[in-house]
Every structure is written in C-alpha cells, then in structure tokens.
Amino acid sequence: MGPDDERDGPGGGGAGATRPSLPARVAVAAGAAVVAVAAAVHLTMVFLHVAPSNTVSKQHAKAIGDYIYPEFEQNWKFFAPNPLQQNVAVQARAELRGPDGRTTLTRWTDLSAQDGAAIHHNLLPSHAQQNLLRRAWDFYTGTHDVRERPNGLRGSLSEEYIRRIAVARLSGQEGRPVQRVQVRSVTTVVAPPPWSDEKGGGKPSYRTLAWWPVATADLPEANR
C-alpha cells in the first residue's frame, strides 16, 4: 500500500471526510427550494402584469398590483412607437409665518432638479430619489381632471401624497413654519435632433395647483 492509499484510509484526509452532514444537506436543499419558489412567484407575477389582460390577471388584479408596485413596475414607454418627448419638472413654493405673524413667500424650488442632482454620478441612487416624486406627480395627474377636481378617494390621497412631499422639502427654510404650499409642473418639449423633420421646442407649459393649507399631520416629525 502506497503513501496515497494511507492518506485516503480511515485516518486520512480523503474526500469522504469533507462530505457535509445530513442536517447541512437538508438546510441547503431547503434554501434552494425557497429560492426556486420565490423566483417562480416573482416571474409569474411579472408575467401576469405585462401580459395581455386575461382571466387570471383580472381575477387576481389586486394581488398582482400590490406585489408589482412600486418596486417592480414595468414601464414600456421608452420602447413605445412614440417615446416620451417631454421633460416634466415638479416645483413648489411655500408661505412661511414669521415671528411677528407676518407671512412671506419663498421662490419656486425645483424639486425634480434636486432629485436629478442627487442621482447624477451616483452609482447607487435610492428608490426615493429616482421614483418618489415622479410617481407622486403621476398619481396626482391620473386622479384629477383638467380642473384639478379629484376623482374619488384616490384623488384626495394623491393630493395628500404630493403635498407632504412638498412640505418635507420646504420645511425649515429660514427657521419659519410652513403655512401653505403650492405645487406646479413645468413641461418642456424636448427639441428633435437636427436630422429630424419633427417640430419641437417652444415655450414651456405650466400646470399650477391651488394653495394647500398645511396641517400638523403634513409636517415631518422633526418639525411637529
């Protein structure tokens, strides 16, 4: 019997000594099963979300929506026949109350520009920086008519959502409490490339909302 045979024997360090124990193998198998099930559920939910409307997606629409939004939303507008050709910036200003009781107005603050600056050159921007304001404004415009009238309870909820974002961004200016906030959007058409015969550019269009009074519940916890 040679030296190699001795190392693989009962007292050696052969392959048999590195075999995982039964509990370890059970744990690995259970972990793999959990990952497989989670992947299958995720792929199924995403498929039902992007697939044409069918019996299953209609029956489980609420569950699918709760799972997909907002982290896994699939937005295909970039690949549409007519991609988005506008830049929409959300701006806000506040009415502040001074120590003497007098009120002053702040200038319009470009909230979208703040998010853009936070994302620029940031390899790992947060979900809030990328989507919070954008989704809030889309939520508002989708639940209000051209006269800014809300469509049911979701319309009122969208007002509260965008108002609280504006209050959180504008609170603390000059150390004065915020009395009211006003939000507007500025839509600018992206100029077409030189080789295109499309018309573009022009002056930006504004959508200015009414002033909203600020309640205590709208303030960040640090300012209540």
Identity of residue 78: F
Distance between start and end Cα atoms, the chain: 83
**What are the residues whose beta carbons fall under 8 Å from the beta carbon of 41, sequence distance 6 or more?**
none
For 34, counting Cβ atoms within 10 Å of its Cβ (0-12 exposed, 13-18 middle, 19+ buried), the class is exposed
Query: For the chain, how are helix, strand and coil distributed in percent, rounded to 5?
Result: 50, 15, 35
> Is residue 204 reached through a cis peptide bond, with omega within 30 degrees of 0 on the bond before it?
no
Q: Is it the case that residue 15 has pLDDT exceeding 60? A: no
pLDDT digits (tens, 9 = 90+) for 41-96: 999 998 998 888 888 888 988 888 888 877 777 766 666 666 677 899 999 999 99
pLDDT digits (tens, 9 = 90+) for 93-112: 999 988 888 899 999 999 99
* Residue ranges covered by each domain of the chain: 18-68, 82-223
Using DSSP's 3-state secondary structure scheme, residue 187 falls into strand
Q: Is it the case that residue 14 has pLDDT exceeding 80? A: no
Phi, psi of 123 (to 5 degrees): -70, -25
Using DSSP's 3-state secondary structure scheme, residue 23 falls into helix
pLDDT of residue 192: 78
Q: Is it the case that residue 220 has pLDDT exceeding 90? A: no
Q: What is the pTM of this model?
A: 0.65
Q: Which long-range contacts (CB under 8 A, 24 or more apart) does 111-115 make?
A: 111/165, 111/166, 111/169, 112/88, 113/89, 114/169
Phi, psi of 62 (to 5 degrees): -65, -45
